[in-house]
Chains A and B, each alone.
Chain A
């Protein structure tokens, strides 16, 4: 090693790096291994030292049959001095369990081989989750698209009965709306995932936020014959007004859609020392405790055969939760079967964070004097 790091620094760096590193001598015996190897394979450096590496951690194939050293790509690197990378290789831990690793082998000038190990579980898990997400998204997008395209094509069919053409156009329109909402939601979710969902904070009052959220769902409430009431403390607080409105609108919209005709949905805002709480309370059928945990999952819907509710994307609560997390808050839910459900938005009151972009306009459009802490 050269430079200011020194041998000691270099060794410390190698020992603490998050990638498993094993140095093999020219006969494939372990000359060195670092801490990450202990984590991945369960072998402490002093125990692995001097062992034949292949026979110790790579003795069998994934199906359990013997894996002769001569056939192992690591042995090949030992022979031909060519570097190799093996993805998803099954290795065996000290306790006999398996671990799937991404492995590389490169020849050392001394005649030995350096092996790196990375536990591939997290990567495979992520890839699996992404596959699943793509699968679900494509189904969720194709379904309204199929209805939309099909209905439009049929409007020109011969022999349509009275009113059938209008029914098809209405159906196409409804599905175009659903598709548009879905695209917005997927983009929001993607923004939240990559950390690009930025907040524009401003000061607002409880009653004005409450009024805009209620306004946004008044039409839906009328259509479902649900009464909307709101009760907000006279208070002001900071947050991203547009996004908070999106969260409340989403919760109110769900509450209305899950309410029986004649039911009441209430929005209640209260302020305590530590936080503003916003309760959205419905008199719907209630949600079972095991389902309440899943309502924030992507695309999960309580009863997906219920068409009144299916019009949503199934992403609203996931996005709402992400928005509240950006505010340092959260959404929680309580429910009683047969009585109704209450979702509570928790918005912590804290000194305004100057590291995030601040919009100085107040809800009424005036420019505030200067950023100031929330009281």
Chain B
């Protein structure tokens, strides 16, 4: 079974994404509320993909992605940004893809699979 790690400071967004991933996509889902928490979780659970919210207080999405890329254990885990197209420019070079917010929970799994070239 695929395993998704979701890093977002908004608990309600995490709750929605979790149901979308577990119930609709049928995958496993772990959550983290910050970049640091997410990195620790990734080392423990070895997810197949990490969804990272771009706008987070303190360590933002870009800093989180950079930390993943620099981490010996996690540098090869695929990363996807969740972004509401707020300020910050186009950060897509850092990650494997970008998913717009608000995302459609009914198709979130399909979008992730498509961005990463996973077989349906």
Contact = CB atoms under 8 A, between A and B. Distances in A.
Interface of A: 131-132, 135-136, 138-139, 142-147, 149-151, 153-154, 157-161, 164, 167-168, 171, 174-175, 304-305, 307, 310
Contacts of B12: 144, 147, 151, 171, 174-175
Interface centre among B12, B23, B105 (most CB of A within 10 A): B12
Given A159-B23, A160-B23, A305-B34, A145 B55 contact: no
B94 interface: no
Contact of B57 (A142, A145, A154, A304): A304
Given A135-B86, A160-B23, A171-B16, A150 B9 contact: no
A154 B106 contact: yes
A154 B20 contact: yes
Contacts of B20: 150, 154
Interface string B61-80: 00000000000000000000
18 contacts: A131-B87, A132-B87, A138-B85, A143-B84, A144-B12, A146-B13, A146-B84, A150-B103, A153-B106, A154-B106, A157-B105, A157-B106, A164-B19, A164-B23, A171-B16, A174-B12, A304-B57, A305-B57
A143 B10 contact: yes
Interface residues of B, number: 27
Contacts of B115: none
Contacts of A159: 23-24
B2 interface: no
4 shortest A-B CB distances, which residue pairs? A146-B102, A150-B16, A147-B12, A135-B87
Interface of B: 9-13, 15-17, 19-20, 23-24, 33-34, 55, 57-58, 84-87, 101-106
B9 A139 contact: no
Given A142-B101, A146-B16, A153-B106, A304 B86 contact: no
B9 A142 contact: no
B95 to A, nearest CB: 19
A138 B86 contact: yes
Contacts of A160: 19, 23
A135 B55 CA distance: 11
B23 A154 contact: yes
Contact of A149 (B9, B23, B24, B102): B102
A171 B17 CA distance: 13
A153 B23 CA distance: 13
A139 B84 contact: yes
A143 B86 CA distance: 11
A137 to B, nearest CB: 10
A365 B86 CA distance: 48
Contacts of A144: 12
Contacts of A132: 87
Given A138-B86, A142-B84, A160-B23, A147 B106 contact: no
A144 B10 CA distance: 9
A158 B102 CA distance: 21
A88 to B, nearest CB: 20
A174 B102 CA distance: 17
B13 A154 contact: no
Contacts of B104: 150, 153
B23 A143 contact: no
A303 to B, nearest CB: 8
Given A146-B13, A149-B102, 8 more contacts: A142-B102, A144-B12, A150-B103, A154-B106, A160-B23, A161-B23, A304-B9, A305-B34
B106 to A, nearest CB: 6
Contacts of A143: 10, 13, 84, 101
A144 B12 CA distance: 8
B16 A145 contact: no
A132 B88 CA distance: 11
A151 B57 contact: no
B105 A153 contact: yes
Nearest to A141: B84
Interface centre among A143, A149, A171 (most CB of B within 10 A): A143
Nearest to B54: A139
Contacts of A145: 102
